[in-house]
Amino acid sequence: MVRRNPKNPAKQPNGRGNHPSSNAGGGSGFVRIISGKWRGRKLPVKNVEGLRPTTDRVKETVFNWLAADLYQAKCLDVFAGSGGLGLEALSRQADHVTLLELDKGAAAQINLNLATLNADNATVHNIDALQYLSQTGQPFDVVFIDPPFRKDLLSDVLNKLEHNGWLNKNALIYIEAEKELGVPDVPAHWDMIKEKHAGQVSFRLYLREEK
């Protein structure tokens, strides 16, 4: 997979995103695919308490970062929620996306949206993410991690990804979390290559260097 400037983190000033909304205009009830073969498609989101679909503004930035790395990539969306990140990856020619979502209704809605798009290269698991990651895994090229705020889940997820075989040697890991959390404690051989902030949210991209 092509890598671009892995040694030069691009730190940028704070944005003004409003993370709790499901689209850049502040509305709710759907996610919009930004680019790729399903560009502009709007898909319904299950009304689940605490669900925070990534805003269009943040999503556009993230997928610009990943533009050279998604083609034929195997992706994992750890806390899928609306499925917006995984669907965007599929739209941009990812080979396969695995989505983990604990809420039964949200997981069912992701499956309905995949059926609407006639997407047969995705798998949705209605399961607790930590339970799923506790088993020995298959390696992924790109991993999206956007855990529920203030649930203290991130460090455990990162540990399981690293030690249970879920990451390829040069995997890319996207982490979205509340700004107050600060920079997450990641393994020493993960290099932060991108970082940005939007409202109450910080989002970062890491490159896992081969040991």
- The answer to whether residue 5 scores a pLDDT higher than 50 is no
Bridge partners of 138, per DSSP, are: none
Ordered by where they begin, the domains of the chain are 29-208 (3.40.50.150)
Tens of pLDDT, residue by residue over 112-134, are 999 999 999 999 999 999 999 99
Cα separations (Å) of 150 from 147, 154, 156?
Answer: 9, 10, 13
pLDDT for 187-208, tens place per residue? Answer: 999 999 999 999 889 999 999 9
pTM: 0.85
pLDDT (tens digit per residue) in 51-84: 767 888 999 999 999 999 999 999 999 999 999 9
Eight-class DSSP state of 54: P
What stretches of 117-210 adopt beta strand conformation (E)?
122-125, 140-145, 167-178, 190-198, 201-208
**168: helix, coil or strand?**
strand
Statement: residue 16 has pLDDT above 70: no
Instruction: Give the tens place of pLDDT for each residue, 87-115.
Output: 999 999 999 999 999 999 999 999 999 99
Query: How high is the pLDDT of residue 34?
Result: 95
Q: Are 60 and 80 in contact (CB under 8 A)?
A: no
